[in-house]
Chains A and B, each alone.
Chain A
Amino acid sequence: MAKGSVGTDLGSAVSRPHPALPCWRGRAGWAIVAAPYLWLLGFFLVPFLIVLKISLSETAIAQPPYVPVLDFTAGFRGVKDFVAGLSFANYFTIAGDYLYMFSYLKSLKVAAVSTAMLLLCGVPLAYAMARAPRAAQPLLVTLVVLPFWTSFLIRVYAWINILQRDGLLNQAMVWLGLIDQPTTWLATDTAVYIGLVYSYLPFMVLPLYASFERLDESLLEAAADLGCPRWKTFFVITLPLAGRGLGAGALLCFVPIVGEFVVPDLLGGSDATMIGQTLWTEFFANKDWPVASAVAVVLIVLLIAPIAVYQHLQTGEIEGRR
């Protein structure tokens, strides 16, 4: 909706001809408006349609490993044969097998719990960064981003070392006297949560920091002046005004965590897999591209809901500010 209105605004501005401007200005204007849509068309919509198409196919021992294949050389007949060969059988398979459902629910649960934990860790961290002396803030931001300089995979492997039976965590806890015997961390849900919170913390901290940093200091002073203690000001002024950063951070973490593959695969157990792992198994172990594609399509549909809610909130806020 918002995008549409931006387009027409620009369009009307462009179509009102200025006598001194040559007409190519109008075309350039349209090109600028169209560029992001073309990008989305080429790199999101077309690949999605291909996946959707495969999800409606049947698996086959062939190259590619599914039928029907769209054959444009056969003309209209080819298209007709292709459409006749499509079916929703794979979706029924997914709906009928509780393992898939379980995998989806597990993913949503893991994503929700880790997002909550990320908020609990990220909010104080981002707030402390924003309140730090101005001169120190660029350094703090760099420190948050610094882990990205090492490969994600290597960092997760490092966690295997930390969490294994004779790893750093057990050693430290035994030394501190918190536990008598080393415990099992690896291949548990706890390990998955540790890995996820660690990996996604920058995505939570950066948008939150941006929101907190923008906060007008005089608002906090006004709250104090009107009798509001500091801790309460944080909840009634700071957090509500950081709403956009909270939404962005939560979404930036929640959505990719639902589809996360590496962390649960390397740190988690094999008893309950997340949807990313299920997808991987279908594609690479079972070589069942159509079912794997159907799993992916359902995942996208599931994730559209929170994104749409966030988008709605954001446009509401932008319109409210006008």
Chain B
Amino acid sequence: MRRGVAPRPDPTAEPLVRFENVSRRFGDLAAVDRLNLDIYREEFFALLGPSGCGKTTLLRLLAGFERPDAGRILLGGRDIVATPPHRRPVNMMFQSYALFPHLTVASNIAFGLRQDGIGKAAIAARVDEMLALVKLEGLGHRRPDQLSGGQRQRVALARSLAKRPQVLLLDEPMAALDRRLREQTQFELMELQARLGLTFVIVTHDQSEAMTVAHRIAVMDRGRIVQAATPSELYEQPRSRWVAEFVGDVNLIKGLVLETCAGEAVIADKAGRRHRVAADVAAGAQVFIALRPEKVRIHAGPAPHHAPNAMRGQVCDIGYLGGLSIYKVRLDDGDLVKVAVANVARTSGQMFSASDEVWLSWPPDAAVVLTG
């Protein structure tokens, strides 16, 4: 598609959007809590988190529907906290789409342009351009209730793009679509963003959606940003146990750092097994080893020679997902480890069956050591 590697934001560049110590309280609940965040020009940025983490409030703060109790919100270097929503060069696509039911599709798209006092001919041309952009040519005269859910979603997108906003805010834009349409729309959104060169900020609770569309993702929890990074950084280098567990599937092994030498730490778990992990941690620290299921190798016995971090266990549960099989392996001390194996060959069937004795191993650089 459009990009090999997500562009890293240039730290010397001025961010387009900057949240500075922004707080928004509803009664006792701090929906957004002393939050700092920079979003750069032409970025596709995702706010990801469980429901109630404050991601929608953050979006509404940027749109102007909420006012912060404290802190500053800068857009292009200018504080916009006092600017009412109708004067902000920011447009939002609503989760409910919020199409005006008494106006036609064309009038809905033209609504924002009409507020700017643009000439009739220019508006008509822009509406046609937008209809073509979202592939709804010829439906301009329809009413929103005469459209399918997917078509309504496109109208909402066209309406929010019509004014060429500096930032486009998308509030769970694909929540109401079925899975197939959602995946298709995700790629269309990415393509649109790259083509128009606009800054998109999307709110979603769906991590695969965020990982698919966004250059950078901010993971939020209880009103704060836990980690803001590229999708691969989030997955491969989560900063905390919470992020590791929220993004993707993970095995967590609790242990004590015995010694570190040449960038490799030896960590003992509660069963006394010693794990070698490529990490720079101080000896004596209580840590968690975060190990993604697809990075664990699974072998039939006997104990593999020279395999690092070998553990013996028994298959207790198998989940067949088509492309992948998930094996749940119970170790000798009773802990469960999940292993994901790609089903590469068609005819091999299941490699193991329940209650088979197996050996697990993983290379030292496959896991991350988390202190938090």
Contact = CB atoms under 8 A, between A and B. Distances in A.
B92 interface: yes
A12 interface: no
B143 A222 contact: no
Contacts of B112: 226-227
B85 to A, nearest CB: 4
A240 B104 CA distance: 14
Contacts of B100: 219, 222-223, 237
Interface string A233-245: 0000100110100
A209 B87 CA distance: 30
B96 A226 contact: no
Nearest to A243: B102
B111 A228 contact: yes
Contacts of B99: 222
B27 interface: no
Nearest to A218: B98
A218 B102 CA distance: 15
Residue from A221, A240, A241, A322 whose CB has the most chain B CB atoms within 10 Å? A221
A226 to B, nearest CB: 3
Given A218-B94, A218-B96, A321-B145, A224 B85 contact: yes
Interface in A265-322: 320-322
A221 B85 contact: yes
A219 B98 contact: yes
Interface residues of A, number: 21
Nearest to B87: A227
A287 B101 CA distance: 55
B198 to A, nearest CB: 15
Given A237-B100, A240-B102, A241-B102, A226 B163 contact: yes
Interface in A145-204: none
A288 B267 CA distance: 110
Nearest to A222: B98
Contacts of B94: 218, 221-222
A216 B97 CA distance: 11
A219 B63 CA distance: 14
B115 A221 contact: no
Given A223-B111, A320-B143, A321-B145, A228 B86 contact: yes
B102 A227 contact: no
B328 to A, nearest CB: 44
Nearest to B165: A225
B275 interface: no
Contact of A228 (B65, B115, B145): B115
7 contacts: A216-B96, A216-B98, A218-B98, A221-B92, A222-B159, A228-B86, A320-B143
Interface of B: 63-65, 84-87, 90-92, 94, 96, 98-102, 111-112, 115-116, 143, 145, 159-160, 163
Given A221-B94, A227-B87, 14 more contacts: A221-B63, A221-B98, A222-B92, A222-B94, A223-B86, A224-B86, A225-B85, A226-B112, A226-B159, A227-B115, A232-B115, A237-B100, A241-B101, A243-B102
